[in-house]
Chains A and B, each alone.
Chain A
Amino acid sequence: MSDRMIEVEDLRISFSSAEVVKGVSFEVDRGETFGIVGESGSGKSTVLRAMSGLNENWDGRILFNGEAVPKRRSREFFRKVQMVFQDPFGSLHPRQTIDRILSEILLVNRIGDIDRRINKVLADVALPRTSRFRYPHQLSGGQRQRVAIARALIAEPKVLLLDEPTSALDVSVQAEVLNLLADLREEHGLTYVMVSHNLAVISHLCGRVGVMQHGHMVEQVSVEDLRAGNVSHPHTQELRRLSVGLEDLQDA
């Protein structure tokens, strides 16, 4: 059993004629949280979607737990690798109750004990039992995002891919969700890959960061180095400068 949970080698993705991801490689150890930061159009979300199996049009190699995964993933794969989406409004089926939304992966995989699992996962994400049979439009943005996290966790995966999980949330709700993600990571020994454009958020949860620009991963640094300014690529420096600049006000 390798210590490397995820390996991405020379990932290339094109849409129509444009190459959106131009040879990205990185590795994530078991239990680690790897962040991918970049601006819109950098290709960060595209990389995540290819890793998740949503996008089947890629070249290169993607390995989970030492095994190369095919373009079309199996049901077993989805039990081990799950994703949390950015928009809490769009990621839950508007006509299904929370209960039904959470049950889907259990039903598809014929996993029993649905009742107990749902109640447990609702407790894990600190959602009251009363929300179980509500519809998404009856919940707040923060609650919806918790449901999205619960849905990702209910089949007990090993890896969670997080696509800007808090970008659409208010700052106070973001703090709660970030704390929740950190707690769940401890409790379940999960490996995270998180995409964000916000360096502060990434540095809070992640140990290492990959910086993407125009489809390339231009640098990979540890968060400590990022903090200290030990970064070489100008884009990384620019992103760091902007993030620190905003914070300076808080210290001034």
Chain B
Amino acid sequence: MLVDIKNLRIAFTSRGKRFEAVRGISLSLGREKLGIVGESGSGKSLTARALMKLLPKTAEVTADTLRYDDVDVLKASERQMRKIRGGRVGFVLQDPKYSLNPVKTIGSQVDEAWREHKRGSAREAREATLDLLDQVMIRDPKKVYASYPHEVSGGMGQRAMIAMALAPNPELLIADEPTSALDATVQAEILRLINDLVEKRGMGLILISHDLPLVSHFCDRVCVMYSGQIMEEMAASDLMNAQHPYTRGLLNCMPSLMHPRDRLPVLTREDSWQEETAR
């Protein structure tokens, strides 16, 4: 069991008002692929960050259980967390434009990620990096190694981010909207790449996205979040049999090339969904 979360709550206080962004989330993950789907404001990204203790101090994080493998995240020190972050858990974030350091070459950044957790010489790092760049299907690793982030395409930048995330050989990969900033053609390739690498290395994957069909294509299980809670959880293959009206609503309101409709059904948000369901 890589991730064990029970009754996670995250609250923020701003200008005297307390706002609960995540209200009692429970989920667990082994060496499998979990998709967390939700619209903006659902709390999906916050959940992943809370797991890595990456939220600002102003956030109140409470849970019955918040464990990464054998580490109790709630009680862990910053030093312990730093060993986990990067080394045992890799991150791929949304826009490579903002996640890659614009003044350093791609090669040097992947090197750094490797050396941070592997402790080798500069030459060993470079060899490992070139190998990683090859693994993420970059056709000319040496050229990309020497390039700066702004000199490569979005898809290439994202591959570099994946290489950085995988350099220390982590057990779990958390990908937060990894393809939202990319074109459709590249999106599919990147997700397939993540899928292959995760399977080949026997890693766990948490894929966070707003795109329900996309996530269900690449994950074993899917959690649907709304307003800080999990509305429904199911096997990806069962998506079409989703029970919860929110999930059904989300699926129904998407336009379709093959099944045109005059009017798209609109998701009417029931107030009852806001109520907390004890899980």
Contact = CB atoms under 8 A, between A and B. Distances in A.
Direct contact between A and B in the complex (CB less than 8 angstroms)?
A: yes
Interface string A16-52: 0000000000000000000000011000000000000
A179 B267 CA distance: 12
Contacts of A204: 255-256, 260-261, 264
A171 interface: yes
Contacts of B212: 171
B183 interface: yes
A128 to B, nearest CB: 16
Contacts of A117: none
Interface residues of A, number: 35
B249 interface: yes
A249 interface: yes
B185 A249 contact: no
Given A171-B39, A175-B266, A243 B183 contact: no
A119 B12 CA distance: 37
Given A175-B255, A226-B257, A252-B240, A238 B217 contact: no
A198 B257 CA distance: 10
B188 A175 contact: no
Given A175-B267, A203-B255, A204-B264, A239 B240 contact: no
A172 B184 contact: no
B138 to A, nearest CB: 19
B250 interface: yes
Contact of B188 (A39, A182, A242): A242
11 contacts: A171-B211, A171-B253, A172-B250, A175-B255, A197-B183, A227-B257, A243-B257, A244-B258, A247-B258, A249-B239, A250-B251
A246 interface: yes
B interface secondary structure, majority = loop
Interface string B207-223: 00011111011000000
Nearest to B259: A247
Given A40-B154, A170-B40, A171-B210, A247 B266 contact: no
A247 B210 contact: no
Q: How large is the interface on B (under 10, 10 to 19, 20 to 34, 35 or more residues)?
A: 35 or more
A199 B257 contact: yes
A104 interface: no
Contacts of A200: 254-257
Contacts of A243: 184, 257
Contacts of A198: 184
Nearest to A226: B257
Contact of A171 (B237, B250, B258, B259): B250
Interface string A227-239: 1000000000011
A112 interface: no
A163 to B, nearest CB: 16
B102 interface: no
The 6 closest A-B pairs by CB, nearest first: A175-B253, A204-B255, A172-B267, A175-B264, A39-B183, A170-B39
B40 A249 contact: no
Contacts of B154: 40
B213 A250 contact: yes
Interface string A149-162: 00000000000000
Nearest to A183: B263
A239 B184 contact: yes
A100 interface: no
Candidate in A179, A200, A238, A246 with the most chain B CB atoms within 10 angstroms: A246
A211 to B, nearest CB: 12
Interface in B238-279: 239-240, 249-251, 253-267
Contacts of B239: 249-250
Nearest to A173: B39
